[in-house]
Amino acid sequence: MDLLPLILPWTIHLWTRFHVTDAPVSQLFYWDINMRTPVIGGNWKMHKDHAGTTSFFESFRPLVECSRHREIVICPSFLDLDRAVTATRGTRIQVGAQNLFWEKEGAFTGEVSGPMIKAAGCSHVIVGHSERRRYFGETNESVLKKTVAALGAGLIPIVCVGEHKKGNAEAVLMEQFRDGIRPLANGQFARIVIAYEPVWAIGAGETAAPETAADAHRFIRAQARDSFGTEAANSVRILYGGSVKPGNAKSLMAQPEIDGFLVGEASLDPISFASIVNL
């Protein structure tokens, strides 16, 4: 018996009843049968030494061993990538780097390439984090070059975008998307993850209201739709990053446009981070 004629009307009814959107019903049904798997990423920034990394994973692993509804990615410092990869072997926890250079090798003192990161056992890399843009002069153009390099090395880039000041999100996001993401080929875009981080919220203890964050995500997805088409836009995961904590993560994840988090400070504590993963 073909159940599609019975299921489809109820699917359409539920979506139109509980999700306010101007997208065609056909797009709603497509998204419903191609649910995006949330990604919960931890960006440790310049924290933890060898002992701290080992201790974290000893505590964290048993707390998330039953979490199969999320992808978990932890990004320690370069010095602890190998230790993190060893500590997570045989688990569903993935490891990523916090940065990379766009060349494969050469006379680039202090830099680390995508192939080196891949060879260390990593699956992901953060690209264009706001702190890289602010303190190290990264531009939309360099973010694009790093994204392409990451993809070429077989890594999944978590490409960060976001405004520095409240009130100008759309203008900034449009520019960052236009110059840093839109030049990607369709196949390249299909392999990235985007992280929206309102810079005014990072480390300030101030979080964008769930509805405000969802509006920004919706705007980014609209940019993706205009550039890469409906299917690609519906498939790309867009994470929220900006003072995410156990106390606000649930209300943020209740927004259908938010596909996970890039967590900073709260990812340093295994209990705190596990509570976000296990939502």
Q: Indicate which residue of 124, 129, 257, 265 is catalytic.
A: 129
Amino acid identity, position 88: T
Rounded to whole angstroms, the Cα distance separating 273 from 42 reads 8
Q: Indicate which residue of 197, 217, 257, 265 is catalytic.
A: 197
CB 264 within 8 A of CB 45: yes
Known catalytic residue: 197? Answer: yes
| Residue labelled with tokens 């370069």 | 78
CB 241 within 8 A of CB 263: yes
Buried b (16+ CB within 10 A) or exposed e, 50-63: eeebbebbeebbee
Instruction: Give the count of beta carbons closer than 10 Å to the beta carbon of residue 76.
Output: 28
9 conformational bin, left if phi > 0, alpha if psi -120 to 50, beta if neither = alpha
Residues annotated catalytic, as ranges: 129, 197
